[in-house]
Homo-oligomer: A and B are copies of this chain.
């Protein structure tokens, strides 16, 4: 049996649904390739069009601008990850075990998921690390938020926050700790690979040490009240 995973995307993000057409799926696929390769600043619709073999105007029929396209693929990732988390932590009753699993999923380089044909999750993970925060660190964040563009990110944070509360219902900052875990899983990875003197991990792609750091950080806080 072959399953196809579909993530329901916010309709305001695009002019034409990219999942519905070959060109649309190519836009997503090649955006991920190009942004992963050259970074978001160097990414233009012209280059994307050339890469796909279509024209600039063709891209604009799907996305108003590259910022919305970035939000789209990042939001897609959060949606996908939330599903992964719910799937992989299903049936785990111990919230501490569950939270550890979540931290591991957040901080581990993703492998390409065969159930999503046009998305390379491994590259997407790299994009989320380097470009993820640029989705909201803008002056339009308020407007974008009104459109619910950050809902997948918020939903994931809420899920993580709830697991934290399950670990310790008296813990006072579950949401802030959740965002801290998520952001730090990525920032420590970026620092480790690019500015290693900012971390305690060395430059040897040792994600396992990031996980140890996050576990230590989270559980000393969360477990502090009786456990």
Chain A residues with a Cβ under 8 A of chain B: 38-39, 41-42, 130-131, 133-134, 136-139, 141-142, 145, 150, 153-154, 157, 172-180, 183-184, 187-188, 190-191, 194-195, 197-201, 210, 213, 216-217, 220-221, 224
Contact = CB atoms under 8 A, between A and B. Distances in A.
Copies in the complex: 2
Given A133-B133, A195-B154, A200-B173, A139 B179 contact: no
Nearest to A142: B194
B199 A176 contact: yes
SS class, residues of chain A in contact with chain B: helix
B137 A131 contact: yes
A184 to B, nearest CB: 5
A198 B155 CA distance: 9
Contacts of A191: 176, 179
B217 A180 contact: yes
A195 B138 contact: no
A213 B216 CA distance: 16
A145 B194 contact: yes
Contacts of A187: 133, 179-180, 183
Contact of A220 (B136, B197, B198, B221): B221
Nearest to A223: B220
A81 to B, nearest CB: 16
Contact of A39 (B138, B145, B184, B194): B138
